[in-house]
Amino acid sequence: MKHTILFLLVAGHFFAQAQSNSTKSYTTAHIIGAAPEIDGYINDPVWEEVDWAGGDFRQVNPDKGKPATVQTKFKILYDAKNLYVAFRCYDPEPDKIVRRMSRRDGFDGDWVEINIDSYYDKRTAFSFTSSVSGVKGDEYISNNGDNWDDSWDPIWYLKTSIDEEGWVAEIRIPLSQLRFAEKPELTWGIQVQRLYFRNQERSQWQYIPPDAAGYVHLMGEMTGIKGIKPQKQLEIQPYVVTKMERFEKEEGNPYLTGRSAGADVGLDAKIGITSDVTLDLTVNPDFGQVEADPSQVNLSAFELFFQERRPFFTEGNNTLNFPVSQNDNNILFYSRRIGRQPQGGVDTDASGPDAVDEYVKPNNRTTILGAAKLTGKNKKGFSWGILESATSKEYAEIDSLGHIRKEAIEPFTNYFVARGQQDINKGNSILGGIVTGVNRNIKDQQLDWLHDAAYSAGVDFLHNWSERKYYVSSKIMMSHVKGSAEAISNTQLSSERYFQRPDNDHTEYDPTRTSLTGTGGEVIVGKKSGNLISDLGIVWQSPGFELNDIGYLAQTDNISQWFWMQYRILQAKGITRWQRYNINQWKEYDFGWRSLNEGYNVNAHAEFKNFWQSGGGITYRVRSASNADLRGGPTIAYPGMFNFWAYTGTDPRKKFHVNVNPEFGVGRENYRRYAGLYFNFTLRPTNALNISVSPTFETSKNQLQYVSSPTTDDGSRYIMGTIDQTTARVVFRATYMITPNLSVQYYGQPFGTSGKYSEFKSITDASASEYSQRYIPLPASVMSTGNDQYFVDENNDGTSDYSFGKPDFNFGQFRSNMVVRWEYIPGSTLFLVWTRERNGAFYDSHPDHDKYSFDFDERGHNIFLFKFTYRFVL
């Protein structure tokens, strides 16, 4: 009897658990009669045609699986053109509902959302979020919930209200904004989520544990959808922009008169070709309202990576995304290559008795003549995207004593990207590929150093098993560039590869080559559900791999292996709401199997029951070496290094909260030390105003900072020095929401950095086992100065053997951007923009660097812009 009772109890427990985790279903209905008015009040009789769902929401956090503290109900209706959703969000204290306002996709304050898998592919979905303040949020969900893309901005309608029971949201989603197959009867995946802001509690209708392997495939279902047809979408959005500039006048320069003005027009369009295919077009796009990139000074051998901010390229960018590795920014398609600053230059350095002043008209970007993006997904699970763009030939205009001439600085260029993925076995496996191409019409000899053509291709495969608990991911890529001997020579000598390195015994520099081919790849095996998750992977890029015509690749010639494991507690325990603990290990080699890097890291993170967050970590680099830091010289080895970092954030629910993040590092042999302190202060004086100030301060001292590679009669020298560098930055942001669709936003950033060099040294044996044997100091007795140059007389014979420029620097810059944005009807927007940039110095040139200040002595460059767009929905 005891055993029987025990068996029944256990069986009952598992049966109840299975029932509670079973897939929920909601049956909607076609509207009979008048559609509901979207006014935030659920009093239209038509809402009585369907029952409420919900009332049994469960917490995702902090107490996973437990009933929600406050419950939520919803109803869904549809007609031939729209989907209608009503949310009833109960709250026992309506006066405490947090009604914070923000820009679109701000997700601040109390909100409720619906996720719709209208493809019913169990991998992608559309998310519509309703803030209690009336602010909309929308995201395109892909990769089974791993990616939530908030750059997707569909047209839909929202109204909210607060009453004695809590608050209500009522929305209308045009079916033209969704994608679904044409069938007599449809089943869609749906999920409803709510954030109860005061408790920072997230709850769900279809409970999906926070440690589940995936999201979309576990959503609930909606049935009862009959007789609707995919809507052919046609949206045309022309724009008009006028611009006025004011800047520092330069006497005699006809291009810097202190002012300029102009106007322009362009067009964006979104066309539903079929129910499965959408075409996005842009002609002469304008991105004047986009926030400026952060100021930086680059002392490395590599190009800096900046995030894409332009709307045409950010919307749906996951469709064309193909990263080389999950651990860095290397990527086959980097959209900032399109419309970049012209790559050519003009040499106006005249010399001799007949020298004259020549002035060049500024040209900071290449004109994008047009771009088209075609995307689609069919009912068999094949998704794809194609992007085609053309940029104009650009000229530099030069004024020489009133005589005007033009020189080509960028050829006409065509960019092409195609990406496809096929779902297999209900999305448990995915096979995909990508092809990119760049073709330049080079007719000018001064541009012959650019590639005529550049191509890349890749194939990726993902397989999940054991209910998607485990996975294996693999990809392989190749690239091929071609051009003149000069172009391919530059590619071989570039900072990405430096084939000419004297200790490079596995690749060869060939100045006669007219093409270069390389490969790359990645293999990962991992576990992604449960309390313990992990990744084990290897990634490689061969020496000839080249992506930078249309992609981003910092460095080739490397093979990297890594292991990552996390133990997580995603529920309240003790004094915490959740905890995460990570360990990392990695090794890196070049293709000659020279060990370049090896390191280990441990870190921990937690959110406490007072809603504070804290974390920190320690990294130990056993060894570090670089094939690039000597800019074509031998591989240089660095001593090991310890890095420490931590952070603490106060309760983000409060009107004022603070985050602080200190970090510092210490190198062995005392070769390097650095420290940084990063703050963020956020103030919410009212629900409509959000102010944040983020000051940072960094200081470092590095004995091995590259300076120069002068050439002597007996070979090259590789000069390094000790740099004492200080950097300060303050990022100020303020957003004032007049209404959910009318905002004033300000961004300002004073930035300054200074570096003073000393203790110069010449590298002798860059990879010697003993640190002190890798260089010889250059004492003051062999060095002299003059005309911002150092002259080195190695043998003290009174004759300079070589020289290099003084590398000291100080730089200050102030960038700001103020935008008034009014979405006067959904999809149609008016912008008023003021952008300003001023350059100057960071400190007052005091020799001991003990007085730091910003000194912006220029008048600055001011741009005033008015932009008007109107979206025609046909």
User: Coil, helix or strand for 199?
Assistant: helix
Q: Which residue has the tokens 């049994």?
A: 56
- State residue 402's pLDDT score: 85
- State residue 843's pLDDT score: 65
Contact 703, 671 (CB under 8 A): yes
Q: Which of 302-311, 370-379, 580-589, 603-612 has the lowest mean pLDDT?
A: 302-311
Contact 81, 174 (CB under 8 A): yes
Residue in 449, 419, 451 with CA at minimum distance from that of residue 438: 451
pLDDT per residue as tens digits for the range 748-759: 999 999 999 999
Give the pLDDT band of residue 41 (cuts 50, 70, 90). Answer: very high
Contact 552, 305 (CB under 8 A): yes
Please state, in angstroms and rounded to a whole number, the distance separating the CA atoms of residues 282 and 270: 9
Please state, in angstroms and rounded to a whole number, the distance separating the CA atoms of residues 28 and 24: 13
Average pLDDT across the chain, whole number: 91
Please state, in angstroms and rounded to a whole number, the distance separating the CA atoms of residues 648 and 730: 19
Averaged over 563-587, what is the pLDDT?
Answer: 96
User: Coil, helix or strand for 858?
Assistant: coil
pLDDT above 50: residue 1: no
Contact 630, 718 (CB under 8 A): yes
Give the pLDDT band of residue 400 (cuts 50, 70, 90). Answer: confident
* Cα angle: 417, vertex 418, 424; to 5 degrees: 150
Residue in 649, 700, 655 with CA at minimum distance from that of residue 679: 649
Q: Which of 245-249, 514-518, 520-524, 658-662 has the lowest mean pLDDT?
A: 245-249
Q: Which residues pair with 553 in a beta bridge?
A: none
DSSP tag of 331: B
Averaged over 90-98, what is the pLDDT?
Answer: 96
pLDDT above 60: residue 3: no
Give the pLDDT band of residue 273 (cuts 50, 70, 90). Answer: confident
Please state, in angstroms and rounded to a whole number, the distance separating the CA atoms of residues 496 and 678: 31
Please state, in angstroms and rounded to a whole number, the distance separating the CA atoms of residues 551 and 562: 24
Please state, in angstroms and rounded to a whole number, the distance separating the CA atoms of residues 158 and 521: 46
Q: Say what the alpha-carbon torsion angle 310, 311, 312, 318 is, to the nearest 10 degrees.
A: 100
Query: Quick one: CATH architecture of 24-226?
Result: Sandwich (2.60)
Contact 26, 221 (CB under 8 A): yes
Q: Say what the alpha-carbon torsion angle 533, 125, 104, 326 is, to the nearest 10 degrees.
A: 40
> How do beta strands 53-54 and 58-61 pair?
unpaired
pLDDT above 70: residue 815: yes
Residue in 122, 110, 117, 138 with CA at minimum distance from that of residue 180: 117
Beta-carbon count within 10 A of 465 CB? 12
**Residues in the chain, total:** 874
Give the pLDDT band of residue 21 (cuts 50, 70, 90). Answer: low
- State residue 294's pLDDT score: 76
Contact 115, 127 (CB under 8 A): yes
Residue in 26, 362, 35 with CA at minimum distance from that of residue 188: 26
- Residue 591's φ and ψ, nearest 5 degrees, are -75, -5
User: Coil, helix or strand for 476?
Assistant: strand
Please state, in angstroms and rounded to a whole number, the distance separating the CA atoms of residues 827 and 672: 52
DSSP tag of 801: -
- State residue 723's pLDDT score: 96
Please state, in angstroms and rounded to a whole number, the distance separating the CA atoms of residues 789 and 786: 5
Please state, in angstroms and rounded to a whole number, the distance separating the CA atoms of residues 159 and 130: 8
pLDDT above 60: residue 659: yes
Q: How many helices (H) and strands (E) does the chain have?
A: 3, 51
- State residue 426's pLDDT score: 82
Q: Is the dihedral of CA 448, 449, 450, 451 positive or negative?
A: positive
Contact 704, 718 (CB under 8 A): no
- Residue 134's φ and ψ, nearest 5 degrees, are 95, 5
CA distances 57 to 70, 129, 538, Å, are 9, 17, 42
Give the pLDDT band of residue 20 (cuts 50, 70, 90). Answer: very low
pLDDT above 50: residue 453: yes
Contact 862, 248 (CB under 8 A): no
Q: Which of 103-112, 288-297, 614-623, 753-762 has the lowest mean pLDDT?
A: 288-297
> How do beta strands 29-30 and 72-78 pair?
parallel
Q: Which of 164-173, 309-318, 446-455 has the lowest mean pLDDT?
A: 309-318
Averaged over 535-564, what is the pLDDT?
Answer: 96
Domain limits, CATH 2.60.40.1190, in the chain: 24-226
In this structure, what token pair is assigned to residue 360? Answer: 């060049």
Beta-carbon count within 10 A of 14 CB? 10
Tell me the DSSP string of 358-412: EEE----S--EEEEEEEEEE-TTSEEEEEEEEEE--EEEEEEETTEEEEEEEE-E
Averaged over 247-253, what is the pLDDT?
Answer: 87
- State residue 731's pLDDT score: 95
pLDDT per residue as tens digits for the range 177-221: 898 888 899 999 999 999 999 999 999 999 999 999 999 999 999
Q: What is the 3-state secondary structure (H, E, C) of 29-73?
A: EECCCCCCCCCCCCCCHHHHHCCCEECCCEEEECCCCCECCCCEE
pLDDT per residue as tens digits for the range 121-150: 898 999 999 999 999 999 999 889 988 988
Please state, in angstroms and rounded to a whole number, the distance separating the CA atoms of residues 706 and 702: 10
Contact 607, 577 (CB under 8 A): yes
Q: Which residues of 124-146 are buried (b: 16+ CB within 10 A; e: fewer)?
A: bbbbbbbbbbbbbbbbbbbbbbe
- Residue 38's φ and ψ, nearest 5 degrees, are -85, 90
Please state, in angstroms and rounded to a whole number, the distance separating the CA atoms of residues 1 and 9: 12
pLDDT per residue as tens digits for the range 662-709: 999 999 999 999 999 999 999 999 999 999 999 999 999 999 999 999
Q: List CB contacts of 194: < 8 A, sequence separation 6 or more.
A: 57, 68, 72, 89, 110, 111, 112, 113, 202, 203, 204
Please state, in angstroms and rounded to a whole number, the distance separating the CA atoms of residues 376 and 279: 9
Please state, in angstroms and rounded to a whole number, the distance separating the CA atoms of residues 609 and 613: 9
Residue in 529, 488, 528, 526 with CA at minimum distance from that of residue 509: 488
In this structure, what token pair is assigned to residue 334? Answer: 């980097």
Please state, in angstroms and rounded to a whole number, the distance separating the CA atoms of residues 143 and 460: 13
